[in-house]
Structure 1
Amino acid sequence: MAGTRREIPNDQGRRERILDAALDVVAEVGVHRTTHRRIAARAEVPLGSVTYYFATLGDVLHEAFSRMSDQMSRLYRQTLQDAAGPAEAEAAVVELIAGPAYVPEREMTLIFEMYAYANHDPRVATTTRTWLLRSRESLALHFPADVCQALDALIEGWPMHRAFSGEPLDTAVVARTVHAIVSAPR
């Protein structure tokens, strides 16, 4: 029986393509304008594939934001793990704040969308909290808990300010600020 479903190979990467497409759509039009149809078109899959893998649009968004936060957490962790000592750990934090790799423009847009959506979706709120805790655990490889909290606020907040101001960060100011927090008496 030529052409039967059994002869057609499964599309092993379809689910992941749908999640990646969901993030692309959110970055382009925002969560509020994201639809199953837009995701399917972007992933180049039939509309039914999206609803086959994900029961609701909320499920797609939750898993897509979880995937994004996992990927960014791995980069965050690796950047800090690669630091050999205190000076390199400070430099790693400066790189996370001011460097181009951790939060490029697309990811910054996705972070804004995730945070806003987390206010209305408990699962995405949990994903966001988990991401925050993983960030602090990564910082704890080199810094005490109170310093981790302050540094993580800088790592999250300063790129947001950069995104809205449209101006690059002064790396020397960032480095001095990070050093002041790290070396402050406790």
Structure 2
Amino acid sequence: MTGSLRGPNDPGRRDRIIDAALDVIAEHGVTGTTHRRVAEAAGVSLGSMTYYFDGMQHLLIEAFTRLAESMSHRYRALLDAARTTQEARAAVVELICGPEYGTSRELVLIYELYAFAARDPALLGVTRSWMRASRASLGKHFDPRTARGLDALVEGLSIHNHMDDEPLSREEVAAIVAAVSAGAAPGGRG
């Protein structure tokens, strides 16, 4: 294992640990995530974990923050590219049905985040921040109430389509998005 360890001046070590933590969480769940498993997955010494993180709680917050920021960036990019309400609706459909957002691995990580955040105020803060960012992206095209409903729809339909043995088709999702957003004022007006 020593051949995979990096020297003390390894500037990417902290990022590798965070990425490895997400991999371990996806494979073993939060309850099965240990310092040892993360260190092994990151190719770092177990002792170096405490140099970067003051405990598992700190590492989990950093890992889930990275997940939320990464997914939020893609969410925002799709909605920022929309110029009309119709394009914004299409972007919401893409968020639910497309391959870029909510891969199977990411959905498993989201389940883990939600379950853990329900019992942990610090991770609840990560989740709430993510929801605010999502709603702000949607708010460029829809009024606040509609943005909130669409954000919940993105989460809910993504989860249902991932779990269901007969997921909704893109056309069915588009019809639901259109119904939820019908009459919504763009840009938060109305």
Same fold (TM over 0.5): yes
1:146 matched to 2:149? The reply is no
Question: In structure 2, what is the Cα distance between the partners aligned to 1:182 and 1:103?
Answer: 22
In structure 2, distance between residues paired with 1:164 and 1:86 = 29
Residue 154 of structure 2 aligns with an amino acid whose one-letter code is I
Cα gap change, 1:93/1:62 in structure 2, threshold over 3 Å: closer, same or farther? same
Distance 1:96 1:122 in 2: 27
Task: Give the C-alpha shift of residue 124 in structure 1.
Answer: 0.5
Distance (Å, rounded) in 2 between the aligned partners of 1:167 and 1:110? 22
Counterparts of 2:51 and 2:168 in 1: how far apart (Å)? Answer: 44
- Whole-angstrom CA distance in 1 between matches of 2:50 and 2:37: 13
Measure the CA separation in 2 of the matches of 1:52 and 1:184. Answer: 53
TM-score of the aligned structures, taking structure 2 as reference length: 0.91
Q: Which residue matches 2:74?
A: 75
- Helix, strand or coil for the counterpart of 1:10? coil
* 2:155 partner amino acid: E
Q: Is the counterpart of residue 15 in structure 1 residue 14 in structure 2?
A: yes
Mapping of residues 93-172 of structure 1, within 5 Å:
93-172=92-171
The alignment status of 1:36 with 2:21, answered yes or no, reads no
After TM superposition, the score normalised by the length of structure 1 is 0.92
Distance 2:119 2:87 in 1: 39
- Cα distance in 2 between the residues matched to 1:184 and 1:81: 21
Between the aligned residues of both structures, percent identity stands at 50
1: CA distance between counterparts of 2:52 and 2:164? 39
* Structure 1 segments of 4+ aligned residues over 6 angstroms from their partners: none
Query: Number of paired residues?
Result: 179
TM-superposed CA distance for 1:169, in Å, is 2.9
Query: Structure 1 53/9 Cα, relative in aligned 2: closer, same or farther at 3 Å?
Result: closer
Change (3 A) 1:49 1:9: closer
- Distance, in Å, in 2 between the alignment partners of 1:90 and 1:22 is 34
Match of residue 175 from structure 1: 174
Q: CA deviation at 1:181?
A: 1.4
Partner amino acid, structure 2, of 1:90: R
Quick one: distance in 2 between partners of 1:9 and 1:125? 34
Q: Contact 2:72 / 2:133 at 8 angstroms: preserved in 1?
A: yes
**2:100 is paired with a residue of what secondary structure?**
coil
- In structure 1, the gaps of 5 or more residues are 1-7
Determine if contact 2:160/2:167 at 8 Å carries over to the other structure: no
Question: How big is the shift at 1:74?
Answer: 0.6
Q: How does 1:78-93 map to 2 (within 5 A)?
A: 78-93=77-92
Displacement of 1:59 after TM fit?
0.5
